[in-house]
Structure 1
């Protein structure tokens, strides 16, 4: 492991610096990864003494006993790397795409000490893989160029096949995919600078699927007095001040109480959970209600129940938020609402890869002089731009005065890259209606004009989550739209509230679900 560690800065390399995992049933494992980095090669790795002792074989291993394959002895890799299939970000050591070309078990057939064999310049290995079987020999040769060059060949045994070529078998034994297919739609990437157990990032985590609260659970909330214990979504919560008005009434409507908010939260949580799970949550709290001044609360309080999911941010500096709420289950969202979080603002990156966004964000931020019709016009112009580019994007009302557009992206681009992409797109749109748009940072310098805010594309910058209430009269909700609804006569930013949006979901479904399909690569803008 010493050579392996010396070649990597673990603040930048995606390969983990972890402790070795034990082999199953005492068997030694081997893996061959088809790896396209600066050039195509096959990484042949044998488990020896808690690491993967590795050779890079440019033409790939073969079953042909008449062929000799050059093999460059490279640094040891940790055992956690054995199962990796996906993409290593470019610009980092080994950047490129990787498939698991073969895997299985092996044993040394000449000695009981393969580490000593390697040190002595040879390795006798009998492989039991899906493609590679039989006895192999690796022998060091004096290349004279300073590289640790070896030869790899197959012995003449019952598994030998003359003319056998690895390139005739270009698919993964795990997924059946080629390198091209993995590169186009990777399921995993390596993260840098984290423990090995956290290095492999799943780009397509399963969407949480939980049932709504039962009628009995909702009836139990109605039957409580001003405070009490409520069993909901499998958890027991202490809820308080249930009759307090949290949202002033709108004309012709009753005010919204804390009991109303908790009921809504419990009912919408199964719909909202996919946009919150696995992400740090910034809570916008209004303990005395929406008619008072709220404040941001990021640090999970010490009094939070032990069952509440959380994330310890390893990048937090002293004095910064160290532990965040993560709404990985619906009861955690109800707990947050009871804690006074009237608005829910989840990170646009996951805790598994906080420096890599899963969305590119367009925030149509109206100025004091911006009419609602002008906000809608700006949204329509973005709609046309996305359609022209062939980019999937999803609009939603903010619940206040604006419209947001979320663009799902495959994990890989940095926040700097998504911010630059959105800025270029929005500046192009803004040129169509220059009298409506200001690019000034300070609100006082915008002349009342709207801002196409691309700066939200940054780590720990958040936009209000889908289906979150907003701290305004009537408890409006940040509700997803279809693109066609931008042309509807009824459209206004606070069109839906905690009392109406669930009926909309029941009728139309979750119109935002497409942002969870994180396989989109942003096109280059010229």
Structure 2
């Protein structure tokens, strides 16, 4: 029956060219889903789709649905779509039917007081209630011709005069606009795969080492220097409203001048092309210090309401109601400059990508020194990790934290769950710690560790993060967390806070970025 209902849909599409789902797979029918997709094809319109009898019955609404009961919207009945289409967000080739970009503008559940909604549609009048993230309340579809219908909202507690869908342009699935999806679609549909496997992330070229970001020009940097205490700065085509540029964020160290917000913004802009491969495509947790590092900071995850529209957002669908729902995903040099102006001094990206949040691409070892641990002892533990990685045949690199410790970052194929990467890191950590038990405590709390170091494998959990490569740390002088080559662990001048935002760019110019060798590496974890 569904094959007959989808025959026209399939006839109009070439599934060797379009990423749209074909509807050949098995999809769990709930009978209650609805979706509205904002679709920029030959003309912009909104597609209203209601799950009914195993398909999505669909109408194209040129001006979009509204909560305003005084407005009547034209709606055109179009072919039924497969259930998989409820999650489709991406692009359709320009020379294909419906060519353009699609976002999941709203979604939720629906119900109808009509005893038989299919019969009501056939008769020409359907009453239905939507329970979405943007749309709610009672709607009516009334047929006015062969394919022409009217869509209206009833006067109820959800009605809102003047409500315009164009004032709410972002996807409820990804937080992105149509323009952002068109510029960098995150996923494609493979019609030859089962629906549970059909959505394939398209992050290979966008978020790995092949992606290139340009540093600020000399003119852009000069414009930043010429601003007073506040002003507008245009960077890479974006307008940034900068404030309190001369505020001291870090006291100086070793006789140097204090570090101001202007200095941090300049650093974020200059380090952006090197730092962004470790941030782009990943939700961000930031550690903010609006009053400088001499005052307590706080963690910030939710994208603030005043953030500019061009900042990329991502909605964490598995978040609990009282947890963060929308995260910032830094994907540009202006985004990093905006974060600096927001006094986000420390940047902590998730180890999984927004496109696949349950499968990390990094496994992390954190050598967390205790109150009695010397840096020489930290180096002993780091060198033992080097030996372990060599023995296991695993590609990895160390990174000084900018404070007292060292971390080991291991790129992994995004096939493992967090529980699996955590279990693997725990086994390796226990093996390393067993060699020098006098240096390591496995106690959970610091007060029970007797001042010893902890090899913290517990960081391998979703939304639990370590500081990003090249992020500043909240200490005098603005020290930076810096990736290393393995042999630098033997450098007698190495210190965990050796480089600052004023010196690390010279290091990169001289030796490059040691972590760049790990970008794009996908390796399986060997048994321990």
Q: 1:202 to 1:524 in 2, by over 3 A?
A: farther
Counterpart position of 1:201: 201
1:366-412 deviation per Cα after TM superposition (whole angstroms, max 9, x unaligned): 00000000001100000011011110011111000000110000010
Q: 1:326 to 1:21 in 2, by over 3 A?
A: farther
Q: Structure 1 residue 337: deviation in Å? A: 1.0
- 2:376 paired with 1:367: no
In the aligned structure 2, how far is the partner of 1:375 from the partner of 1:307? 42
In the aligned structure 2, how far is the partner of 1:497 from the partner of 1:279? 25
Aligned residue among 296, 320, 323 for 2:323:
320
How many pairs were matched up?
Answer: 365
Q: 1:53 to 1:376 in 2, by over 3 A?
A: closer
Counterpart position of 1:506: 509
Determine if contact 2:25/2:195 at 8 Å carries over to the other structure.
no
In the aligned structure 2, how far is the partner of 1:400 from the partner of 1:29? 53
- 2:410 paired with 1:407: yes
Counterpart position of 1:95: none
Counterpart position of 2:492: 489
In the aligned structure 2, how far is the partner of 1:286 from the partner of 1:197? 42
In the aligned structure 1, how far is the partner of 2:345 from the partner of 2:8? 44
Q: Structure 1 residue 196: deviation in Å? A: 7.8
Counterpart position of 1:111: none
1:152-206 deviation per Cα after TM superposition (whole angstroms, max 9, x unaligned): xxxxxxxxxxxxxxxxxxxxxxxxxxxxxxxxxxx9999xxx9989832246344
Q: Structure 1 residue 465: deviation in Å? A: 0.2
1:74-126 deviation per Cα after TM superposition (whole angstroms, max 9, x unaligned): x9996979xxxxxxxxxxxxxxxxxxxxxxxxxxxxxxxxxxxxxxxxxxxxx
In the aligned structure 1, how far is the partner of 2:507 from the partner of 2:8? 49
Determine if contact 1:20/1:51 at 8 Å carries over to the other structure.
no
Determine if contact 1:348/1:462 at 8 Å carries over to the other structure.
yes
Counterpart position of 2:305: 302
Q: 1:21 to 1:270 in 2, by over 3 A?
A: farther
Counterpart position of 1:155: none
Bigger CA radius of gyration? 1
Determine if contact 2:250/2:476 at 8 Å carries over to the other structure.
yes
| 5+ residue gaps, structure 1 | 4-18, 32-46, 55-74, 82-186
Q: Structure 1 residue 489: deviation in Å? A: 1.1
Q: Structure 1 residue 262: deviation in Å? A: 0.5
What SS does the aligned partner of 1:436 have?
A: coil
- 2:441 paired with 1:455: no
Counterpart position of 1:520: 523
In the aligned structure 2, how far is the partner of 1:503 from the partner of 1:197? 45
Q: 1:434 to 1:503 in 2, by over 3 A?
A: same
Counterpart position of 1:268: 271
Counterpart position of 1:26: 12
Aligned positions of 1:89-168 closer than 5 A: none
In the aligned structure 2, how far is the partner of 1:262 from the partner of 1:195? 44
Determine if contact 1:411/1:518 at 8 Å carries over to the other structure.
no
Determine if contact 1:281/1:325 at 8 Å carries over to the other structure.
yes
Counterpart position of 2:23: 51
Q: 1:418 to 1:229 in 2, by over 3 A?
A: same
What SS does the aligned partner of 1:381 have?
A: helix
- 2:430 paired with 1:427: yes
In the aligned structure 1, how far is the partner of 2:256 from the partner of 2:212? 33
Q: Structure 1 residue 429: deviation in Å? A: 0.6
In the aligned structure 2, how far is the partner of 1:339 from the partner of 1:27? 47
In the aligned structure 2, how far is the partner of 1:348 from the partner of 1:429? 23
Determine if contact 1:366/1:449 at 8 Å carries over to the other structure.
yes
Q: 1:53 to 1:368 in 2, by over 3 A?
A: closer
Q: 1:482 to 1:368 in 2, by over 3 A?
A: same
1:9-30 deviation per Cα after TM superposition (whole angstroms, max 9, x unaligned): xxxxxxxxxx99955x835658
Counterpart position of 1:221: 224
Counterpart position of 1:182: none
What SS does the aligned partner of 1:467 have?
A: coil
- 2:398 paired with 1:398: no
Determine if contact 1:20/1:78 at 8 Å carries over to the other structure.
no
In the aligned structure 1, how far is the partner of 2:409 from the partner of 2:309? 33
| 5+ residue gaps, structure 2 | 27-53, 56-80, 86-186
Q: 1:22 to 1:507 in 2, by over 3 A?
A: farther
1:211-258 deviation per Cα after TM superposition (whole angstroms, max 9, x unaligned): 110000000010001111111122110001111110011022111111
Q: Structure 1 residue 515: deviation in Å? A: 2.7
In the aligned structure 1, how far is the partner of 2:223 from the partner of 2:199? 44
Q: Structure 1 residue 312: deviation in Å? A: 1.0
Q: TM-score, normalised on structure 2?
A: 0.65
When the two chains are superposed, the root-mean-square deviation of aligned CA atoms in Å is 3.1
Determine if contact 1:198/1:352 at 8 Å carries over to the other structure.
no
- 2:439 paired with 1:436: yes
Determine if contact 1:228/1:239 at 8 Å carries over to the other structure.
yes
Give 4+ residue runs of structure 1 displaced > 6 Å after superposition. Answer: 75-81, 187-190, 194-198
In the aligned structure 1, how far is the partner of 2:274 from the partner of 2:246? 26
What SS does the aligned partner of 2:382 have?
A: helix
